[in-house]
Amino acid sequence: MIADQLGRINAPDEAIRGIRRHDPAVLGAEAELDPAAGLRQCDGQRGVRPAEAAGSYEGFRQMDRATRELPSSAAQLTAQAKTTYVSAIRDWVLRGADSEHAFSADQARAHLPALTEDMVAAQTMFRLGQFLMRHGEAQEGARWLREATRLHPDSWCLWRQQAGVNELGLAALPDFWERVDALGSRRYYAPVDMKGMP
């Protein structure tokens, strides 16, 4: 899982898309992940942003779950977050290391969470569970997935892989919302260290 290699506990697709490189000549180049640094390497150079929830905001937590509508204030903040992030990335692509949004490799690395032994063990157990499930051992595989989540309860990535899905294919059934509500004042998306982000 890319999220594991980047030390992310909640890496939906938009977060993975947030891994960028400041040099426009290599934005489309084949890249290699550096698990130790949690940064993307392109042409042997370090990236300048850590993995982050690209323009995501907590607005969805205010959604009316029956109508799936957001209050206008939450919708505005969510749109502001996306606009701010896209503008910053555009500036970064055009100006490279001179962009106010570019981090040095050391600065980007400093934004990555430190992996604990439990987190590493949980990722290993998760992979074992997936392997067992793919090879017809559903009950044993599910047991290892539960153990992985027990060891690393903050990982939405691990939890989401064993969650049920709604008609849209999203892990957004009542157990998801219970887990979101249990966050209380803690954030679902890690804050993005970028000027103008809510």
Does one domain contain both 30 and 87? yes
Q: Where is the domain boundary, 85, 110, 135?
A: 110
| Confidence (pLDDT) at 96 | 82
Check whether residue 21 and residue 79 sit in a common domain: yes
- Among 35-39, 127-131, 161-165, the range of highest mean pLDDT: 127-131
Predicted confidence (pLDDT) at residue 18 exceeds the cutoff of 90: no
Please count the structural domains in the chain: 2
> pLDDT class for 37, splitting at 50, 70, 90?
very low
Instruction: Indicate whether 6 and 33 sit together in one domain.
Output: yes
How big is the chain, counted in residues? 198
pTM (two decimals):
0.68
Helix and strand counts by DSSP (H, E) for the chain: 8, 3
Last residue of a domain, one of 56, 91, 110: 110
Residues 24, 47 within the same domain? yes
**Domain range for residue 146?**
117-181
Residue 39 within any structural domain of the chain:
yes
Task: Indicate the average pLDDT of the chain.
Answer: 79
Using the CB atoms, write b or e for 167-186: b if 16+ within 10 Å: eeeebbeeebeebeeeeeee
